[in-house]
Chain A
Amino acid sequence: MDFGPHLFLATLEGAITAAVISLTAAGLSIVFGIMRVVNVAHGEFFMLGAVGAWWVTTAVGGHPAFGFAAALIAAPLFVGAIAALADRLVLFRLGYDPERTIVATIGILYVIQQVTLMTFGPDARPVEPPFNKRIPIPWLGIGENGLELTWPWGLATTTYKLAVIVAAAVILFGVWQFLSRTRFGLLMRATQLDREMATAFGIPVRKIYARVFGFGAAIAALGAVLIVPVQQAHYLMGTDPLLLSFIVVIIGGLGSLPGTIVAAVLIGMSDGIISVFFSPTLAKILATLLVAFVLVFRPQGLFGKAQA
């Protein structure tokens, strides 16, 4: 086996990780940017999205594409509603005090995870992808007839995996448009800039906060629905995306959406590549240490602007 095709495959897997992580991280980043809340339970909303997708696809039946399409709509709505409820019942009552909300979201993390264990069970359950065609990876090389395409390694990817990457890009574009073009996006940004002034202008800040929290969770859930046909739904699956999103959001600069996406691509790709050539654990050690050092020495993130 050559180095080239392995690198190619690692890059591709890395791109899928990057696609999903940029969605979860975008959710985390929006919630932090607007509400100044570090949501430790974010990974559990991701997990709920995947579990929700399993419930929906199982309930709908028929061709996998129908169930999947239903899951794409129903799971994020369901997760968003739960998150908005958590905001109303817990975070709002804490007055969004930064340290107490972190502690509370740790509690919410365990509640969601364990309730899922009690209802969904400890097994990993697969969701069938809506379409799944194998694409062998070609290689351009010099053969007997000069330059030609060959398929020498039997390595392959699937149409679904490529679709995940495209879908994530489309969704992120949609989120960006939503934030910058719609009235709700405007209200969100106004609340972010100055909460008290927004209240003075009659913006229902309380309602906005609940929706922002729900919206952030729903984006994570959407990412989970996309990845679940590749990964299977499991009640502990939220931990890795949570840590990776933290890493991405911090390196990209807390609360900056473009920075988050650049960092997601960077981290997702390098995670994929280091995992293939060295070990997944080593990749994670390096990434976590990187985050710690970025926070210590460059708190505004690698791509953020220094605060005056």
Chain B
Amino acid sequence: MTGNLKENSLHVGVLVILAALFFVVSDYHDGNLARIMVLAVYAVGYNLLFGYSGLLSLGHALFFAAGMYGLGLSMNLLGFAALPALLVGIVFSAGVSAIVGFLALRTSGVAFMIVTLMFAQAGFLTALHFGEYTRGDEGFVIQQASRMIAGIDLSAHANRYFAAFGFFALSYVAVAILVRSPFGRCLVAIRENEERARMLGYDVWMHKYLAVIASGTISGLSGAAYALLFGYAGATFASVQYSILPLLWVLLGGAGTTIGPLIGTAFAFYLIDLASEITTAHLLVVGLTIVLLTLFAPQGISGELRRRGLKWLP
């Protein structure tokens, strides 16, 4: 099982490097990395559905925002403490993904993309419609004083970094284990050939449904974590753009690889960061990258690495 040994050491290595980076790079990059790790959780969740199950959703912002508003609104309106509010966010996004998945999985291919897009758009508009509570595009701030779990202030620099690291490590390891399990293998089988998986006696629908719920819940965890660590929730995070971004990150890093989401998120984050220093039209970079990727490297960075020699790359 040398393959497994290599995989495990890669995963441990990635986590060790991320933890160590905090002590190496400057405060500015620490802040960026914390943000990247929280967003990479989102990409990890998206990758589970897109990369491993072959289902392309254009509506994941709905799940991200469900987690974000689940936490934000229960803290600000109901006065929940941070930990129960985090649970509310996770449960809420799991519920939303269970409903959306149940309906959307009656379709496939292009129709699935459009159905998810439309549900997400309805969610975004709902957030705008109840502007009284959500404050629409402007969003609302979650008070620093309430962003505490077990007496630890999550808005402080180092605490925030390691909380983000914790969220990332949790989802990264969970998905790495999941995709190696029989369940994950079956998802890949469905992605490669749905008919054959069905002929072999697998319950294709149930596998896809569970994948949507797992993927939506991880995305919701990311949204809740983002609101908790950075103290802000707004309707922008529910917009189409935030459904496109995880697609970009996963495509860029490599769909269907465990480290792809992290690489893609970090790469895209710094790319957009650099571009916005040069021009206000920094989304141009997003567009060009997407077009060039689909044309020349549909497997993404780690997909290319895998193709050019590192065949064992998980």
Contact of A110 with B284 in the complex, beta carbons under 8 Å: yes
Contact of A115 with B284 in the complex, beta carbons under 8 Å: yes
- Interface residues in B257-314 by Cβ distance below 8 A to A read 279-284, 286-295, 298
**Contacting residues, chain B, for A285 (C-beta < 8 A):** 122, 125-126, 129
Contact of A295 with B118 in the complex, beta carbons under 8 Å: yes
Q: Is B119 in contact with chain A by the CB < 8 A criterion?
A: yes
User: When chains A and B are docked, how far (Å) is the Cα of A281 from the Cα of B56?
Assistant: 27
User: When chains A and B are docked, how far (Å) is the Cα of A249 from the Cα of B158?
Assistant: 51
Count chain A residues whose beta carbon lies closer than 8 angstroms to a beta carbon of B: 41
User: When chains A and B are docked, how far (Å) is the Cα of A14 from the Cα of B44?
Assistant: 43
Residue on B nearest A102 in the bound complex, by CB: B113
Contact of B118 with A110 in the complex, beta carbons under 8 Å: no
Mask, A75-99, CB within 8 Å of B = 1, is 0000000000000001001100011
**Contacting residues, chain B, for A284 (C-beta < 8 A):** 121, 125
Given contacts A250-B114, A296-B107, contact A117 B291 (CB under 8 A): no
Distance to closest chain A CB from B240 (angstroms)? 8
Contact of A38 with B284 in the complex, beta carbons under 8 Å: no
**Contacting residues, chain A, for B111 (C-beta < 8 A):** 295, 299
Count chain B residues whose beta carbon lies closer than 8 angstroms to a beta carbon of A: 41
Contact of A281 with B128 in the complex, beta carbons under 8 Å: yes
Q: Is A282 in contact with chain B by the CB < 8 A criterion?
A: yes
Residue on A nearest B109 in the bound complex, by CB: A98
User: When chains A and B are docked, how far (Å) is the Cα of A109 from the Cα of B58?
Assistant: 15
Q: Is A132 in contact with chain B by the CB < 8 A criterion?
A: no
User: When chains A and B are docked, how far (Å) is the Cα of A118 from the Cα of B288?
Assistant: 15
Q: Is A166 in contact with chain B by the CB < 8 A criterion?
A: no
Q: Of A102, A114, A279, which one neighbours B281 at CB under 8 angstroms?
A: A114
User: When chains A and B are docked, how far (Å) is the Cα of A163 from the Cα of B289?
Assistant: 42
**Contacting residues, chain B, for A243 (C-beta < 8 A):** 121
Q: Is B251 in contact with chain A by the CB < 8 A criterion?
A: yes
Distance to closest chain A CB from B194 (angstroms)? 14
Contact of B294 with A94 in the complex, beta carbons under 8 Å: yes
**Contacting residues, chain B, for A289 (C-beta < 8 A):** 118-119, 122
Contact of A281 with B129 in the complex, beta carbons under 8 Å: yes
Given contacts A99-B110, A250-B114, contact A288 B291 (CB under 8 A): no
User: When chains A and B are docked, how far (Å) is the Cα of A274 from the Cα of B58?
Assistant: 27
Given contacts A38-B110, A281-B125, contact A110 B298 (CB under 8 A): no
Q: Is A248 in contact with chain B by the CB < 8 A criterion?
A: no
Contact of A291 with B291 in the complex, beta carbons under 8 Å: no
Contact of A100 with B280 in the complex, beta carbons under 8 Å: no
Q: Is A113 in contact with chain B by the CB < 8 A criterion?
A: yes
Q: Is A246 in contact with chain B by the CB < 8 A criterion?
A: yes
Residue on A nearest B105 in the bound complex, by CB: A296
User: When chains A and B are docked, how far (Å) is the Cα of A282 from the Cα of B129?
Assistant: 7
- Interface residues in A271-285 by Cβ distance below 8 A to B read 279, 281-282, 284-285
Distance to closest chain B CB from A48 (angstroms)? 14
Given contacts A38-B114, A93-B295, A117-B281, contact A107 B288 (CB under 8 A): yes
Max chain B Cβ within 10 angstroms of own Cβ: one of A118, A279, A288: A288
Residue on B nearest A247 in the bound complex, by CB: B118
Q: Is B115 in contact with chain A by the CB < 8 A criterion?
A: yes
User: When chains A and B are docked, how far (Å) is the Cα of A117 from the Cα of B121?
Assistant: 24
User: When chains A and B are docked, how far (Å) is the Cα of A239 from the Cα of B244?
Assistant: 14
**Contacting residues, chain B, for A279 (C-beta < 8 A):** 129
User: When chains A and B are docked, how far (Å) is the Cα of A103 from the Cα of B58?
Assistant: 10
Contact of A107 with B291 in the complex, beta carbons under 8 Å: yes
User: When chains A and B are docked, how far (Å) is the Cα of A299 from the Cα of B112?
Assistant: 11
**Contacting residues, chain B, for A239 (C-beta < 8 A):** 240
Contact of A110 with B290 in the complex, beta carbons under 8 Å: yes
Q: Is A111 in contact with chain B by the CB < 8 A criterion?
A: yes
User: When chains A and B are docked, how far (Å) is the Cα of A295 from the Cα of B113?
Assistant: 11
Contact of B281 with A291 in the complex, beta carbons under 8 Å: no
Q: Is B218 in contact with chain A by the CB < 8 A criterion?
A: no
Residue on A nearest B131 in the bound complex, by CB: A281
User: When chains A and B are docked, how far (Å) is the Cα of A246 from the Cα of B122?
Assistant: 14
Contact of B295 with A104 in the complex, beta carbons under 8 Å: yes
Q: Is B221 in contact with chain A by the CB < 8 A criterion?
A: no
- Interface residues in B238-259 by Cβ distance below 8 A to A read 240, 244, 247, 251
User: When chains A and B are docked, how far (Å) is the Cα of A292 from the Cα of B106?
Assistant: 11
Distance to closest chain A CB from B285 (angstroms)? 8
User: When chains A and B are docked, how far (Å) is the Cα of A139 from the Cα of B292?
Assistant: 59
User: When chains A and B are docked, how far (Å) is the Cα of A22 from the Cα of B126?
Assistant: 26
Q: Is B104 in contact with chain A by the CB < 8 A criterion?
A: yes
**Contacting residues, chain A, for B114 (C-beta < 8 A):** 38, 246, 250, 291, 295
**Contacting residues, chain B, for A102 (C-beta < 8 A):** 56, 58, 110, 113
Distance to closest chain A CB from B104 (angstroms)? 7
Contact of A295 with B284 in the complex, beta carbons under 8 Å: no
Given contacts A98-B110, A106-B290, A292-B103, contact A111 B119 (CB under 8 A): no
**Sample of 13 A–B contacts (CB below 8 Å):** A100-B294, A103-B290, A107-B289, A107-B290, A109-B287, A110-B290, A117-B280, A117-B281, A122-B280, A246-B118, A285-B125, A288-B122, A292-B119
